[in-house]
Amino acid sequence: MNTPTQDHTKVNYAERLESIRGELGVSRNQLVDIIKISLSTINRIEIYNHEPSPYFFSQLRKNLPEAVSYMSGESDVLPELHTPVKAEKKSIHEGEQLKNYLRSHKISYRELGRLMGIAQTSVSYYVQTVNFQAGVKEKIAKALGVSEEAVFGVKTILKPSNQPEMDLFSVPIVQVSDRRKLSKEYLDNLLNSVGIEDIYSKNYFYVRRNKLSNEEVNRALVLEIASSDNMQPVLLPGALVLGLLVPPSEYGMLDRFVVIGTIGRVLVRRVVSNRLRTDDMLEVVSVDNNFSGSLTIKREDIDFVIELISIVDQPLR
């Protein structure tokens, strides 16, 4: 079946998507998990009334088929929609247990980070975590030189296939020194390599679960900004920025800060004109007043695109 085609100027996609969410009784983040599409795509449609891409409709048809006719404008009748609602799990806040142990034993976050070989920021996220992934509590206790029970009260025995849900995701960091390696193939391998052993590495950054959907975490990474990116004062050299690897089917919706791999170069720029749907051209600029001029890139010259969505760490001026 082809993607629905209508007079798109008459379809208020934002209103229709909001109505679908209202009928389901879900948030945008929950809708992301239902139809398996990125949160940034949902936001573009519902906040800015962007026309949904063919990929959006293919995912909607696959995961919520009864909503396709209404969303596309073929029908003005909102169908009755249902989705199972998962009950929230009540559990002991293990991050609070860790925080209380560190406080009572006068151990700083920096010191625990040193003992574990991870960044202090990662320890800060640890103490905000409700339930740790399997093996993390054992790792913490080992670094502290005590039993797991001494910190958390009861030892957890779990198989990797039965891990409790974490409040945090670990995503890979692409440092300035890694830029020369960047390619679509390298990024795919990097994102596919994230596993339980990787979360203890300094090469990974913790991101709170409410910042990303389950679908988006598989495309997420943190990029270190270089002085040569010429993005001051918005992005300072050394800043760490959370981004999502964009599938080519969604290139036509790019409208913000991006990292683009093109013809042997990696550019950090702001999108000023996206004509990839009409004439396969994307115009980008730097925000540095001392680095004027725009650059137009052909679709065929794009190797990969990372859409930057939020700053997770910004150095002081």
Q: Which of 53-57, 138-142, 160-164 shows the lowest per-residue confidence on average (mean pLDDT)?
A: 160-164
The percent of residues above 70 in pLDDT, for the chain, comes to: 81
Q: At residue 202, does pLDDT exceed 70?
A: no
The pLDDT confidence band at residue 283, using thresholds 50, 70 and 90, is very high
Task: Quote the tokens at residue 244.
Answer: 């999502």
- Calculate helix-pair angle for 94-104, 136-144, nearest 10 degrees: 0
> Residue range 122-149: average pLDDT?
81
pLDDT at 289: 67
Q: Which residue has the higher pLDDT, 54 or 211?
A: 54
Domain residue ranges in the chain: 8-72, 94-162, 168-313
Q: Give the span between the Cα atoms of 135 and 306, in whole angstroms.
A: 31
pLDDT at 271: 92
Q: Which of 79-88, 91-100, 247-256 shows the lowest per-residue confidence on average (mean pLDDT)?
A: 79-88
- Calculate helix-pair angle for 28-35, 39-48, nearest 10 degrees: 120
Fold matches, 8-72 and 94-162: yes
Q: How many residues does the chain have?
A: 317
CATH code of the domain made up of 168-313:
2.10.109.10
The pLDDT confidence band at residue 89, using thresholds 50, 70 and 90, is very low
Q: Give the span between the Cα atoms of 172 and 169, in whole angstroms.
A: 10
pLDDT in tens, 169-195: 678 888 888 888 888 888 887 777 644
The pTM of the full predicted model, rounded to 2 decimals, is 0.52
Would you identify the CATH topology of the domain 94-162?
434 Repressor (Amino-terminal Domain) (1.10.260)
pLDDT at 5: 47
Residue 237's Cβ-count burial label (10 Å; 0-12, 13-18, 19+) is middle
Q: At residue 51, does pLDDT exceed 80?
A: yes
Q: Give the span between the Cα atoms of 297 and 142, in whole angstroms.
A: 51
User: For every residue of 130-150, which 3-state class applies, written as one string?
Assistant: CCCCCCHHHHHHHHHCCCHHH
Q: At residue 68, does pLDDT exceed 90?
A: yes
Domain boundaries 8-72, CATH class: mainly alpha
Question: Which residue type occupies 230?
Answer: N
The pLDDT confidence band at residue 92, using thresholds 50, 70 and 90, is low
* Mean pLDDT over the full length of the chain: 79
> Residue range 67-86: average pLDDT?
81
Helix, strand, or coil here: 279? coil
Q: At residue 240, does pLDDT exceed 60?
A: yes
